[in-house]
Amino acid sequence: MKKIPKKHQTASPRRGRAFLRLRGSLTRLSDKWKAGRAARRSFFRTLWRVGWRCAVPLILCGILTLTLALTVSTSMVKLTAPDILTADDLSPEADYDCILVLGAGVRDDGTPSDMLYDRVKVACSAYYALEDVPMIMSGDHTGDYNEVGVMKALAVEMAVYSADVFLDHEGYSTYESLYRARYVFGARKILIVTQEYHLHRALYIARELGMQAEGISADLRPYRLQGKYNAREHLARFKDFFVAARGEYNAPLDPPVDLGGNGDDT
């Protein structure tokens, strides 16, 4: 039998059908990929259009809010700047009801933060200059965290008479500290001690609560993360602008405390 040369041989029908099935599968996969790619492009185009339409109002709203916050913050600073005193301005004739010292955090080892230490130190200097005006240490006392206890202990170490140091254990925020000074301790005329970036907001809140308030800055050194505090304070002033306008307090108030009494009882 004559042998057919290899180049003239044809594929068997089975191999031919297998090839056609493979080619058909590849063609279908290619079509699906192309269709899927078109669908993906359409999806992302739609997502981009919707996202952009939503983003523009959000960006504009953010810019407007930031502008308002900066305007309120700047106005608050200008309004309260004349009420910030220096140590030379302090005199017993001022007749303050109390010196209000605002809390600023205690470290894990129980020592005061640099800001808190300086606030107490400046408050003690004011206490000597004003001749024994009582102090209110206002801060957070939650469980084992006793900010006001640390503040009082430090003041006593600095030769302040213990009975003249009153504790407000629920001064969780600047607004709460001022509100409680007014409505729990009955203070009408106060000297507020804190760092200057914070002092403007405290003075504004006091004014809105009907108090006669002046302040003295406790800036005795550069502080870590001061830039962060300054930036955050703009938003805090904006928030407390509305909080002080409402003049509300959302927790039961403690019984009144007589600032003419014994601070060791608080």
Whether 198 and 102 have beta carbons less than 8 Å apart is answered as yes
Distances (CA, A) of 131 to 90, 92, 99, 135: 10, 6, 11, 12
Q: Which residues contact 11 (CB under 8 A, 6 or more apart)?
A: 19
Among residues 209, 207, 217, 211, which one has the least CA distance to residue 84?
A: 217
C-alpha torsion 68→73→74→80, nearest 10: 140
3-state SS class at 50: helix
Among residues 198, 217, 220, which one has the least CA distance to residue 88?
A: 217
Whether 194 and 102 have beta carbons less than 8 Å apart is answered as yes
pLDDT at 179 (0 to 100): 97
Where are the domains positioned within the chain? 83-265
Say which amino acid occupies 127: Y
93 vs 73: CA distance, rounded Å: 32
Reading the chain (266 residues) residue by residue, the pLDDT tens digits are 455 455 545 555 666 666 676 676 667 666 666 666 666 666 667 667 666 677 777 787 878 888 888 999 999 999 999 999 999 999 888 899 999 999 999 999 999 999 999 999 999 999 999 988 999 999 999 999 999 999 999 999 999 999 999 999 999 999 999 999 999 999 999 999 999 999 999 999 999 999 999 999 999 999 999 999 999 999 999 999 999 999 999 888 999 999 999 999 99
179 vs 193: CA distance, rounded Å: 16
174 vs 199: CA distance, rounded Å: 10
pLDDT at 58 (0 to 100): 77
CATH 3.40.50.620 fits 83-265, yes or no: yes
Among residues 244, 225, 228, 229, which one has the least CA distance to residue 197?
A: 229
Rounded to two decimals, what is the model's pTM?
0.79
pLDDT at 42 (0 to 100): 67
Beta strand 84-85 with 212-217 is parallel
Matching residue, tokens 């068997």 = 12
